[in-house]
Amino acid sequence: MIIGVIGLGTVGFGTVDILTKEKERLEKTIGEEVVVKYGCALEDVNLPDGIIYTQDYHEVINDEDVDVVVELIGGTTIAKKIILDALNKKKHVVTANKALIAHDAKELFTAARENGVNLYYEASVGGGIPVVVPAKEDLVANNINKIEGILNGTTNFILTLMERDNLDFEEALKIAQNLGYVEANAALDLDGYDAAHKIYILTMNAFSTFFDFDKIKCTGIRNVTKKDMDYAKKLGYRIKLIAMSKKLENGLGIDVSPTLVPMSEIVGNVMDAYNVVEITCDYLENVLFYGKGAGRYVTASAVVADIIKTAKKDVWTHDYDYTENVYPITSSKYYVRSEQPLNLNYDEYYSFGEDHIYITDKVELKDLEDALKDTSATYFKVRS
């Protein structure tokens, strides 16, 4: 197995390091030699002896000896060209590029199928947590009904700091940025798009369906305040950025939004930069995947697993239908905070100083917004 790694940032370098350190053991696992022939990046990197450094990705793709191209530069422009060119050269591709898959899945997997090669992407969801392969292969006996989870470690870290260290949002965000947790484009984390990319991938496989990413409704954590987190905790909840999808009679329901999750549940106790994915299906019922969602070696471990998986030679099909019918999930219980009493149907009501807090009955968001249209109020979903 001859490998070319394109992109030698945090994850790329980690991938080369693991492949080098674990070379002998990996070779025993698949019964063939594992050789990293190329490391490609614009910046000079101190690679292990024997690996060719290049700044030209064409050199990697055009080398007939290369079996597997690993794309780790990210983005949706040049990365797409690299992947398509590699697939059309009949090379297996491994990527962690969640945004590209979420936006161009049908085109990419069609190219892989037509060329009889694989495009693997375990590292695109949950860092090193093995969830993509188990959900696609090991749950094959089941019909998946619903997927829920914390899919963005950065926002979970920020929310943890707000609760644990008594910080407001801006203070917690600054700490996360200083630690390098926040994407260069902070909106990917803070406005829910990163989590949306990941729930797209899980949904695509769970329901064997391609759809337009832009139909996913995202609400991020910018409006989560320390006050609301404190009130939620008093009521037995924590606020988490929850990504959810489920099969509807007429299509797919998908949502990414801050949600009050009971502290009595495992998902409500996932803290710091950890991720969790909960899959509900008919025979296995509920299964959870939990672990670190990012990091050099955390993510690289998933990349290496996919590289080794290409040795099996069987093609992973994505012969999926396409649907236009993608809808936000708007029917829910809601947490509502207002400085004046409200005329709402509710399960719970509390008064804390000047604030009136409601946990509503299950209601459509539009009906709730109509009831609140003349009132200043803060509201979030409640998982029940």
What is the model's pTM? Answer: 0.96
CA 47, CA 19: separation in Å to the nearest integer?
A: 12
Residues paired with residue 275 on neighbouring β-strands, in sequence order: 291
- Residue 190 forms part of a structural domain: no
216: tokens are: 């996913």
* Residue given tokens 């793709």 in the structure block: 61
**23 classed as catalytic:** no
Catalytic residue among 198, 246, 292, 381: 198
Number of structural domains (the chain) is 2
CATH number at residue 25: 3.40.50.720
Last residue of a domain, one of 124, 146, 181: 124
- Residue 35 forms part of a structural domain: yes
Per-residue pLDDT of the chain (384 residues; tens, 9 = 90+): 999 999 999 999 999 999 999 999 999 999 999 999 999 999 988 999 999 999 999 999 999 999 999 999 999 999 999 999 999 999 999 999 999 999 999 999 999 999 999 999 999 999 889 999 999 999 999 999 999 999 999 999 999 999 999 999 999 999 999 988 898 899 999 999 999 999 999 999 999 999 999 999 999 999 999 999 999 999 999 999 999 999 999 999 999 999 999 999 999 999 999 999 999 999 999 999 999 888 889 999 999 999 999 998 788 889 999 999 999 999 999 999 999 999 999 999 999 999 999 999 999 999 999 999 989 999 999 998
CA 229, CA 155: separation in Å to the nearest integer?
A: 14
53: tokens are: 């450094």
Greatest extent of the chain over all pairs of C-alpha atoms, in Å = 72
CB 363 within 8 A of CB 330: no
- Residue 21 forms part of a structural domain: yes
356: tokens are: 């009136």
CB 212 within 8 A of CB 326: yes
- Residue 335 forms part of a structural domain: yes
105 to 75, 108, 143, 156, 167: CA distances (angstroms) = 14, 5, 22, 27, 39
- Residue 57 forms part of a structural domain: yes
CA 288, CA 279: separation in Å to the nearest integer?
A: 6
Residues paired with residue 289 on neighbouring β-strands, in sequence order: 277
- Residue 378 forms part of a structural domain: yes
| Helix, strand, coil percentages in the chain from 3-state DSSP, rounded to 5 | 35, 30, 35
Per the structure, the complete domain to which residue 119 belongs is given by: 2-124
In terms of C-beta density within 10 A (0-12 exposed, 13-18 middle, 19 or more buried), how is residue 295 classed? Answer: middle
* Residue given tokens 């769970």 in the structure block: 206
The beta-strand segments (E) located in 55-205 are 68-71, 92-95, 119-120, 144-150
- Residue 111 forms part of a structural domain: yes
- Choose among 280, 212, 207: nearest CA to 250: 207
Last residue of a domain, one of 80, 109, 124: 124
CB 322 within 8 A of CB 209: yes
CA 250, CA 325: separation in Å to the nearest integer?
A: 7
Last residue of a domain, one of 124, 157, 175: 124
66 to 39, 314, 337: CA distances (angstroms) = 12, 18, 59
- Residue 342 forms part of a structural domain: yes
